[in-house]
Copies of this chain bind each other. A is one copy, B any other.
Amino acid sequence: MNGRDANGVTISDVAAAAGVSRQTVSNVLNRPARVAPDTATRVRRAIEELGYRPNRAAQNLRERASRCLGLKIPAPIGVSNFLDRFLYSLTAAAGAAGYHLLLFAPTAVDEELATYEDLIRTGTVDGFVLADVSARDRRLPWFAERSIPFVCFGRPWGQEDGPYTWVDVDGAYGIEQGVEHLIGRGHRRIAYLGWPEGTGFGDERRRGWLRAMGRHGLETDGLIGVCGEGVAVAVAAAERMLARPEPPTAFVCGSDTHAVGARLAGGLDADGRPRVGVVGFDDSPAASLISPRMSSIRQPLDEVARRVVSLLTARVQGSDSPPEGVMLRPELVARE
């Protein structure tokens, strides 16, 4: 940076300034051991003075890699800023690994696969992070056939035996922790409120509840509630459950949205204390809208992101390690 336009500084300019060839400059940067120490310092000084930075397009062309990971950004639905948080962790993890995150949004649903293919074939990205894996997601076999590198956040439900690499959080374990927490606070009639059957992760969380309840010999009949997205429907579902003859005294929930619904349905007593115990899932900041704040099960998003990036970059770089699933444990954040 000496006032001149530094954008046009190439490796040859540096080479000329340092009185060496361009390859030596390249070696200083990429294979320092090959270069004599005082040559290296001379070159480094020239790099510094000229403000040289290697051109990414040229590197990408030569290396046949873009050092970009692609992520489809889904249409924003729901209240959670889950994606916000994961995106941040993912971007940071990618950066630490020398990669960037490249976002795209296919315009039409039937364009989605074409968009993925295009990004790979043009070399715009080296691989994909799939953060929105649905049950029997048809993208997974499609990618595998074309040997397009990808890693899922979330198990490939319905095709667990496929040769897929994923990172996920053990939702059943998390819910079990939630049940234990409520039992510890004296609850015995603990209900589960979550999504209708069919979402892999939702079903798993429900199984976690069943297992924990069974371990303590607690009743589960009539204690399951399901509803779709949205606080309003969650409130209605929880109200129906509370209106039954032997209502639950607490809820573990498939999501914070469900949990907010349960809390609102239960209401507060005269002292401003919640009438029902509630444990949510995901520990979204939105859960803090409810006062007093709810307990919730926190997913280790930073760790998830790091593992996703490390698995994906390995595959991108041609490591033909076998498909691998990584399961992480969530953590109960207990609040008053």
A291 CB, nearest partner CB in chain B, Å: 7
**Bound CA span A288–B103, Å:** 28
Q: Which residue in B57, B124, B289 is a CB contact (below 8 Å) of A79?
A: B289
Which residues of chain B are near A60, meaning CB under 8 Å?
A: 56-57, 60-61
Interface string of A83-118 (1 = CB under 8 A from B): 111011001100110001111110100000000001
**Bound CA span A85–B104, Å:** 14
A17 CB, nearest partner CB in chain B, Å: 17
Q: Which residue in B56, B235, B264 is a CB contact (below 8 Å) of A123?
A: B56
- Closest residue of chain B to A264, judged by CB? B291
Which residues of chain B are near A91, meaning CB under 8 Å?
A: 73, 103-105
**Bound CA span A81–B290, Å:** 17
Interface string of A12-53 (1 = CB under 8 A from B): 000000000000000000000000000000000000000101
Q: B57, A7: Cβ atoms under 8 Å? A: no
In the complex, besides A56-B122, A101-B102, A232-B288, 15 extra interface pairs with C-beta distance below 8 angstroms are A51-B121, A53-B118, A56-B60, A56-B123, A56-B124, A73-B87, A88-B105, A91-B103, A92-B107, A96-B107, A103-B103, A230-B288, A260-B289, A264-B291, A286-B289
Q: Give 7 A-B contacts (CB < 8 Å), ordered by A residue.
A: A57-B64, A74-B88, A79-B81, A81-B83, A102-B102, A103-B103, A232-B291
The list of the 7 closest CB pairs from A to B, nearest first, reads: A57-B60, A81-B81, A57-B61, A53-B121, A91-B105, A79-B285, A101-B103
